[in-house]
Every structure is written in C-alpha cells, then in structure tokens.
Structure 1
Amino acid sequence: MRHETLKQQIIALELGRCERQLLPLGLPAIDDALQGGLDLGAIHEVTGPAAVFFTQLIMRQKGGGVFWLTTRSPNEEYYPPGMAQYGSRPEDFIAICLPDTRDLLKVAYEVLGANVAGCVLLEVQKPLTQTQMRKLQIAVQNTDTLGLVTRFTHVGMTSPEQEGACGSAITRWYVTIVDWSHEKTQIELYLVKNRRGSPCRWIVEIDHATHHLHLVSVPGE
C-alpha cells in the first residue's frame, strides 16, 4: 500500500500537483493502463477521424461546464443543442470562436487556469508546438479541469504516431470508427502515447440509448 501511495505522489509531483486527481473512464482495462484514469489538471490529445466521439464521451463523463475553443464556426459535431444526444446539457456548453490561433491560445491559457470548467476542448487546425503544449499544461496543472486538444483536419498525416508527436500531452489518443449503426457505434481507441505505461489498443462499443461504454476486444486477442 505504501508503494502505491508513493507512486501516486510521484505522478502528482510530475504534474506539478500535491495530489493526483483522476477521471476514471469506467472500463477497468483502460483505467488500469492509465493507472486509475485520465489525469485532471492535465492536457490530453485526441485525434483521428472519430475523435469527436471520444471527446464527447469524456466530456459527458467529466460533467460540469465545457468550453469549446475553435477557429471555425460551430458545426454539427460540437453544436451545443446536438450534445443532448450524448447525455450532455446544451446550457453547460460554451463555444468561443476566434479566427487567429494565437488569440485562441491566449483564451485557452486563461480559461484553463481559472478552474471554472469541467473540460476545456481546444480544437486546432495544425499540431501545436512543444512550447504551446507546455504552456497549456502549466496553465491547467493546479486545477480540476480536464484539458483536451483535438484537430479538425487530418490531411497529410502519415501515421497515428506522427500526429501531434511534438506535443507534451499526458496521453495521446487516435480514434477511428470500426462499425456504426443507429443503435450503437464501435470505435477503436489507440492510446498512442501513455506517460503512465505502454501504448495500447481497444475496441469500445457505445450504446446510443444509454451512453454506456462496453469493451469489445483488444486487437490481436
């Protein structure tokens, strides 16, 4: 028990915190790979063609207000009234659209550091630099907020490992759709970067009626 406590204290110190705070995803295999769940007060990257599914599930799991920061106009993916279908409340969803990435990052630093939101979703067109990602991490590290960085374009990407490779996120996910129907959707979660362990892949099923997650399989098993 003392060994586990010491390990958690070391992880918290790596994040610039006194105590580690987590958001379990509710799937033991994934939470175990993350050593308990997604770190709060930290930045996580979610990319890939189906990134929107995973980010919406994370935001619903976290609860609280959501700030969506983007350089494009609201769309059907993150349009607040449409979030109700994922179990979220549209009134908790605030969209901020600025045409310049530099201004958008300035807002992101302020919102992340204010500790007023459950999640802050920063949607960018190009991968952020190491310095930009580090500033985001410093801004959020003393809060209970979950920082998510995603991209709305994947043109020119050669592999999931390369996308966002210059960033310093705690985790980096690449998400694709395996199967889709009106009742359920199956997505593959590829944990490309995992500061708490090794990269992993899972296929997860989303029940549209209950919003519950089910682990279907680990590719290769």
Structure 2
Amino acid sequence: MPESSPSFAALKRQFAMSEPCSDARGRFALGCPTIDTALGGGLARGRLHEVFAAQEEDGASTAGFALMLALRACDAGETIFWIRQEAGARIAGRIHAPGLAELGADPRRILFADTPDEAATLRAAADALRSPVIGAVLIAPWGKAPMLDLTASRRLTLAAEQSGVTAILLRGAVEPPPSAATSRWRVSAAPSIPLEADAPGHPAFMVDLLRHRSGLSASGWRLEWDRDRLAFRAPPLSVALAPLAAERRADAERRFG
C-alpha cells in the first residue's frame, strides 16, 4: 500500500501518540548458552541486525529465523511491525497466521504492512523505528534492494538507537553489501529431529555469524527453536541426522511458508 494511504497514516499517528511500553535498551539473549556467551550475553536491542538466506530455497527458514529474533528482542506483549515489499509478498506468498502460532507467536502481536517499492519500504521502516511502543521492526525489501546501501543502513541504525526499537533486516540470497548493522547472519534450513511417535520435530537451522560489531564471527552453529520457551537451543548431539535435502526444504516450507 502507498505510504500516503489512510491506513498507514493512521498507524503512524497511533505510534506518535502512544506511550512507551518499556525501556528496550540492553541485550536480548537467544536462549542458547553457547551463542549467548560468545555474544557477551546476547544481541544489542535498539540496533540493526541483518539476516541473509544462504540459498534461495532457504528463504522461508530465514524468514522464520528473523521472526524468532524479533520475538526474542521483544518484551511480553510488545508488538512486532513486519514491513514487506509487495513484490516479495506476491512471489513468496503471504504470511500464514496458523504457521505463526505453530512457532509460539501470537498473530495479534504482529502488524503487517505491504509497501509498493523499496523506497516506501525504507520510509515505513524509519517511521516505525522511531516509535518506542514497537518492540521490533522486521524489514523485508525484495531482491537486491540497491537503495539499501551503507547510508540507508546508517539511517535505520540511528532511528533504532534513538528509540531503543530493534530492527531485523530480512534479506534473500544476495551478496551482503556494506552496512552499519551490528550483526549479520546467514541462515539455511536444517533437518528437524523427530519427536516421540514420529511427531514433527522442532524447527532447525544452520547459522553462520558473518560479522559482529565486536569483531566476532563464527560458522556452523546448529539451532532448534523451542516454541514453548520462545527461545533457541542447541539440539541433542547424540541424534543421527541424515534426511534428504529435498525433505529439509519441504519441511521448512511447511513451517514458514
């Protein structure tokens, strides 16, 4: 929808008039001690964090991972504002509310806005990040997003720092450009470990930390999402994992598509 549309203008007025829910400064832990220790306690709130898909077919899993980071960044009851470029919504599909619930997310806490082009996406993101009543803003431009350069990322970072709202930038399988983001992640789907009676296992990911403001980088982290705790965790090391790659992708699409 155009930024000047009545519904989007109403959202902007609502953000401007509302009182802050909480001080979002500090860090948010991912829930996995290995990663949280390496990160010095977690990721910084009120900063920009980037999440890239390893391959095109990892787009659904990457979107799920980005949403999970946003859930971790929010205090209980805070709203996530998810901004998607319309081209991405048409090609990749709309968000499936029952799928959000399967991840432990309350769909009522998530506001969605579709924007007509990249410029409108960045404007909407900057507006949302200026409101301290939002817990996290998930920004999903489409394709290579040439306007999302170092200058644009600095603007998003400044808006996040001033309000304390965490920004999660969701990207596809593109070459990461120069950026002012505090952290940069690459995500691919991983096979889930079946539960008892062959019940579907927890969503699983292979995660690489490409860059962190502290200088840290690491690869090969395998994570599961615990919907009951709304937290990441390391999977049991004693379980053998050998499903076909096609099954991995299909499982990710069922969960996040």
Contact 1:33/1:196 (<8 A) preserved: no
Does residue 58 of structure 2 align to residue 44 of structure 1?
no
Q: Distance in 2 between matches of 1:111 and 1:208?
A: 27
TM-score (norm 1): 0.77
Counterpart in 1 of 2:233? Answer: 214
Give the stretch that moved more between structures: 69-78 or 117-126. Answer: 69-78
Contact 2:104/2:228 (<8 A) preserved: no
- In structure 2, the CA distance between the partners of 1:133 and 1:217, relative to structure 1 (3 Å rule), is farther
Q: Distance in 1 between matches of 2:71 and 2:166?
A: 12
Matched residue of 2:157: which SS? helix
Contact 1:173/1:193 (<8 A) preserved: yes
Contact 2:225/2:231 (<8 A) preserved: yes
Contact 1:204/1:217 (<8 A) preserved: no
| RMSD of aligned Cα (Å) | 2.5
Matched residue of 1:114: which SS? coil
Counterpart in 2 of 1:15? Answer: none
Q: Distance in 2 between matches of 1:207 and 1:26?
A: 9
Contact 2:45/2:73 (<8 A) preserved: no
Give the stretch that moved more between structures: 164-173 or 50-59. Answer: 50-59
| Unaligned residue ranges in structure 2 (runs of 5+) | 1-23, 195-199, 238-257
- Counterpart pick for 2:140 among 99, 113, 123: 123
Residue 59 of structure 1 deviates from its aligned partner by 2.3
Q: Which amino acid aligns with 1:107?
A: A
Q: Distance in 2 between matches of 1:37 and 1:167?
A: 20
Q: Which amino acid aligns with 1:113?
A: R
Contact 1:60/1:86 (<8 A) preserved: no
Q: Percent identity, please.
A: 26
Counterpart in 1 of 2:214? Answer: 196
Q: Which amino acid aligns with 1:60?
A: L
Give the stretch that moved more between structures: 201-210 or 124-133. Answer: 201-210
- In structure 2, the CA distance between the partners of 1:208 and 1:183, relative to structure 1 (3 Å rule), is farther
Q: Which amino acid aligns with 1:189?
A: V
Does residue 156 of structure 2 align to residue 147 of structure 1?
no
Matched residue of 1:173: which SS? strand
- Counterpart pick for 2:26 among 7, 21, 24: 21
Q: Distance in 2 between matches of 1:214 and 1:86?
A: 14
- Counterpart pick for 1:66 among 72, 80, 92: 80
TM-score (norm 2): 0.67
| Unaligned residue ranges in structure 1 (runs of 5+) | 1-18, 158-162
- The CA deviation string for residues 24-60 of structure 1, in whole angstroms up to 9 with x for no partner, is 1121211122222111110000111231221122222
Matched residue of 1:133: which SS? helix
Contact 2:67/2:138 (<8 A) preserved: no
Q: Distance in 1 between matches of 2:235 and 2:153?
A: 33
- In structure 2, the CA distance between the partners of 1:20 and 1:66, relative to structure 1 (3 Å rule), is closer
Counterpart in 2 of 1:132? Answer: 152
Residue 108 of structure 1 deviates from its aligned partner by 1.0
Residue 215 of structure 1 deviates from its aligned partner by 1.4
Counterpart in 2 of 1:4? Answer: none
- The CA deviation string for residues 139-166 of structure 1, in whole angstroms up to 9 with x for no partner, is 1102231100012x42xx4xxxxx3231
Residue 91 of structure 1 deviates from its aligned partner by 1.1
Query: Of Structure 1 and Structure 2, which has the larger fraction of its residues in helix?
Result: 2
